[in-house]
Amino acid sequence: MSGALDFIDLKSQYAALKGSIAERMQRVLDHGQYIMGPEVAELEGKLAQYTGAKHCVTVASGTEALLIALMALDLKPGDEVVTTPFTFAATAEMIVLLGGVPVFADIEPDTCNIDASKIEAAITTRTRAIMPVSLYGQVADMDAIERIAQRHGLAVIEDAAQSFGASYKGRKSCNLSTIACTSFFPSKPLGCYGDGGALFTNDDTLARAAREIRVHGQSARYTHTRVGVGGRMDTLQCAVLLAKLERFEWEIAQRLALGERYRALLADVPGVDLLAVRDDRDCVWAQYTVFLETSSDRAAVQGALKAQGIPTAVHYPKPVHHQAAYARFAAPDAFPHSIGAGARVMSLPMSADLTHAQQDRVADALRTATTR
């Protein structure tokens, strides 16, 4: 048996881009504009162009992007936001931090994304926005969500932390809603070497609000027009991403191909169900996530894979309303598909640099583990 695999291989990516990363970081160290240096605007221009959105505003993290998006929309205490309970906690966290109320709608059991047909029943006179999450790198049914939002005069915020680079009906994630928020946490599809994030919008007023909120609500230097945060992304991190963009298209193509290859390798493995990807979109596989039959099967399979040097993870073991901080927002037995997914999901090693030999090793080990 060869050595342990990385869950996400960032070392091969660094090896491929080492020269360019060093050069771009050195340029920042030489010009010395560590905050809001020229790389910030350069990156924002490139990311806006990539997604097709009119505006890109880089911020300190994906979490900060969600916070600034909600602040730009002027979310008030008591305002409700309809979102999915099956996500990373940050999605609901920023709503609650501003005094808002997350109102959950259950997921589709096969994609783990919010079920658009369940959103309307969650809307009240206090609802201000719908916040779908593009989980694992696949966008939710944004056209259906947009129609509901228009009917009720609501904003849509795409939590695109896991889906930068994904496509939906020929359009890019981050250009499908009123505002979109992504994360450049190192392990995300486009990751920097620390914290970073961005929000995207086609609305000039919201873009301006987000730019001001990012720097303490300043509309000009020392002119604090609104309450904001210190939410900028470092120039050095922007320089890292500019280097990473050089092969990002290749990485996305690799992710899509590796996802297809995993599908073929795992299609007939007993006790393993695959995530559904809808025909009109793709999945960039921020996580390559599959379903086991029960949580005890999952624990056994994780143990067997670990013994073979194959790391796995669970995204996420519990829906948000089963976390103590958010339990007050829903009954414990609500959202059975989210609870079921939490018991059954397991993520396998995935990154653009995963080799076919490594992928074969993961598939073989999984097949052995489930057929014992």
Ligand X SMILES: *Cc1c(COP(=O)(O)O)cnc(C)c1O
Task: Report the C-alpha gap between 91 and 71 in whole angstroms.
Answer: 14
Chosen residue from 88, 262, 291, 335 binding ligand X by CB under 6 A: 88
Question: What size, in residues, is the chain?
Answer: 372
Largest Cα–Cα separation, the chain: 67
Nearest CA to 27 out of 13, 37, 14, 35 is that of 37
**Amino acid identity of 228?**
G
Distance (Å, whole) CA 137 – CA 287: 7
Site string for ligand X, 128-147 (x = CB under 6 A): -----x--------------
Non-local (6+) Cβ contacts of 358 within 8 A are 5, 349
Q: Is 197 in the site for ligand X (CB under 6 A)?
A: yes
Min dist CB 283 to ligand X, Å, is 14
Strand 218-220 and strand 223-224: the pairing is: antiparallel
Q: Does 61 engage in binding with ligand X (CB under 6 A)?
A: yes
Radius of gyration of the chain (CA): 21
Q: How far is the CB of 64 from ligand X (least distance, A)?
A: 7
**Options 72-80, 88-96, 138-146, 245-253: segment touching ligand X (CB under 6 A):** 88-96
- Name the residue number minimizing CB distance to ligand X: 62
Total Cβ atoms within 10 A of residue 334: 16
Q: Which is nearer to ligand X, 51 or 87 (CB)?
A: 87
Q: Between residues 37 and 191, which has the closer beta carbon with respect to ligand X? A: 191
Nearer to ligand X (CB atom), residue 61 or residue 113: 61
Q: Is 87 in the site for ligand X (CB under 6 A)?
A: yes
Cβ proximity to ligand X, 92 vs 366, nearer residue: 92
Q: Which residue has the tokens 């097949």?
A: 367
Specify the residue, 213 or 266, whose C-beta has the smaller distance to ligand X: 213
Q: How far is the CB of 56 from ligand X (least distance, A)?
A: 15
The correct pick among 98, 161, 258, 301 for binding ligand X (CB under 6 A) is 161
Beta strands (DSSP E) in the chain are: 55-59, 80-83, 101-104, 127-131, 155-159, 167-168, 171-172, 179-183, 197-201, 218-220, 223-224, 273-274, 288-291, 345-348
Rounded least distance, CB 144 to ligand X, Å: 20
Between 195 and 282, whose beta carbon lies closer to ligand X? 195
- Per rule CB under 6 A, is residue 62 in the interface with ligand X? yes
Task: By CB under 6 A, name the binding residues for ligand X.
Answer: 61-63, 87-88, 90-91, 133, 159, 161-162, 183, 185, 195, 197
